[in-house]
Amino acid sequence: MSVEVTKLDSGLRIVTDSMPQLRTASLGVFVGAGSRNERAQEHGLSHLLEHMAFKGTRRRSARQIAEEIESAGGDLNAETSVEQTAYFARVLGEDCELALDILSDILTDSQFDPAELEREKSVILQEIGAVEDAPDDLVFDLFTETAWPDQPIGRPILGTRERVRAFDRNAIDLYLRSHYQASATIVAAAGAVEHGRIVELADRLFAPLGKGEFPAAPPALYRGGEVLTKKNLGQTHIVVGFEGRAAHDADHDAAHVFAAATGGGMSSRLFQEVREKRGLAYSIYAFHWAYSDAGLMGFYAGTSPADAGSLMAAALDCLAKASHSLSEEEIDRAKAQMKVSLLAALESSGARAQQLARHILVYGRPLTTEEMVARIDRLTVEDIRKAGAKMLRSAPTVTAIGRVRKVLDQNRVAKRLGGI
């Protein structure tokens, strides 16, 4: 097996997958702290830190960071999610030391220049405005806030204008000291990499990371509810959801296959019934999101205001029927789609590094390819139907933006599914 894992005395974990057919390498530093780790006064701080990462250190200005990596033909990126913040580099195999040196520099010695901080806060305020102008994005922010009200896991990752404006150097330093600990951090590398060399570099370059105890995020408590936001739009954007399954739940994989079978592709029931047969939506799909201790399953659709009620009724009927009538053929298609998605990561060093890091953050170890495929293959039709029915029995979450007069509220959604 080409995957190797080393845990240093500091708690820092290094995972690599050597892919001899490649000449490039993807490296990432994954910190197990995202938006759900923030206290109320820190809302949006994980995302701000990601933005500030490339704005200069004691050794390098922002321009020097960009020039050094691009002179080697590489690139840098970063992203913030609910449960982690990640910093990436892609370079030629011989430039792994340069990539890790830059990543360690920005994570352990960023200067957070006050002028740069104010500029980047302005950029994030524009990003928040862009989401508010995109109802198909904003409706999902409303959805998570409604499913998990007054909880960090339900808050928008970007934060609020008020909180972003209030952040200062002191808030950043406190958050870094508390959350950016070696024990919460994974260095992942895939492609033209050699494990021993990556371990040696990581041990030296990431030594400044804190070695304290990492604070756990508060547990998630699914509630459900509804938020219908009136806006004069050409389309009404709707998300209907239910309590999903956490990554460690026994029926997590079955829940994922249920969502894929009912609304994961052009052959799925939702697409065929709502779009192809009835012409009620241009875009409709189902999803299942899994976190360490919680999950959400549901569907999104954009439709004309006059058709909102008809679309929701048709979609809910599809899901209800699927919970007791999904066929072996439908499930086999969904399983095949999932296996292709999983195995595609083996053909991209960047996707592979992210996959390995997520496995360690969630499961504490990398899963083998055979294990991932076997988890899907062993699921029966009955497993998947039962997982779907159980989710659909939970309290619905309904969010919509647009002309919402014909949108079915939470009670009518629950009533429509009452026979499951």
- Residues with a catalytic annotation lie at 50
CA distances from 409 to 140, 238, 274, 308 (A): 17, 11, 19, 11
Sign of torsion, CA 224 230 231 233?
positive
Question: Phi then psi for 101, rounded to 5 degrees?
Answer: -65, -45
């020039």: which residue's tokens?
67
């929701």: which residue's tokens?
312
Of residues 198, 1, 203, the one with CA closest to residue 89 = 198
**Residue 41 near residue 163 (C-beta atoms within 8 A):** yes
Distance of CA 307 to the CA centre of its chain: 31
Residue type, 322: A
Give the span between the Cα atoms of 240 and 247, in whole angstroms. 21
Give the span between the Cα atoms of 203 and 210, in whole angstroms. 13
CA distances from 359 to 226, 349, 372, 405 (A): 33, 15, 11, 44
